[in-house]
Amino acid sequence: EEKFGKNLKEIKDTINNQLKDIRNDNTKQLDKMRETVDEKLQKTLEKRIGESFKLVSERLEEVHKGLGEMQTIATGVGDLKKVLSNVKTKGVFGEYQLDNILEQILTPDQYGKNVATNPDYNGSVEYAVKMPGQGSDHTLWLPIDSKFPTESYEVLLDAYETADKDTVERARKDLIRAIDGFAKDISVKYISVPDTTDFAIMFLPIEGLFAEVLREPGIMETLRSKYKIALTGPT
């Protein structure tokens, strides 16, 4: 019985030692696993943070680039405003626009530049389209003149910014008066039947300007009946 008890104790000690070894080994393995997991988490976290910072940096760079482009555009608009603030330059701009359009739709021998259409007027219209005359040697001209009512149009645009209805209406009336004056001027200077058609064309080089003028009720019919003038815009 004593021997059995001794053997049982030895078995118990052996098992305890083995369990202790297993626990120690498990602890070491868990520590290694924890270190590995911590290391991977740290690397993953650093990678994610790095990617996030990179993304933020790229977005900021895009924002800065966009701001730079906006500043460039603003500068360009400012330059354009300066160019168009000069009355003479606006006249050249309108003439260039008209020349460009005619060049695209007509051949060089179908229209003329700076044509003296009226023998009673010592001047010439910017452009005139050649029309078939009564005889083979006779050229019938259709006068086309570009106009830009600089001051009245800019006053109207400024009036819109004030959002005052009366101010806008006064500015629009001034614009229409300017257009009426231009129409009369073209009619008197450049229409001369039978050397020209019995009507001429006033070209307004900016769509916004053309649209503003057309807001006046019956403006096309009025100018046609009073001065034999037809209005047109770039389109």
The pLDDT, as a whole number, for residue 63 is 56
- The more confident residue out of 31 and 109 is 109
Q: How far is CA 180 from CA 2, 74, 117, 187, in A?
A: 135, 34, 21, 11
State how far the Cα of 183 lies from the Cα of 191, in Å rounded to an integer. 11
Mean pLDDT value across the chain:
81
Mean local confidence (pLDDT), 158-172: 90
Supply the pTM of this predicted model.
Answer: 0.62
pLDDT tens figures, 32-87: 777 776 667 667 656 665 666 566 666 656 655 655 554 454 444 444 455 455 55
The answer to which of 82-86, 128-132, 197-201 has the lowest mean pLDDT is 82-86
- The more confident residue out of 228 and 26 is 228
- The more confident residue out of 107 and 44 is 107
The answer to which of 31-45, 149-163, 218-232 has the lowest mean pLDDT is 31-45
88 pLDDT above the threshold of 60: no
The pLDDT, as a whole number, for residue 161 is 86
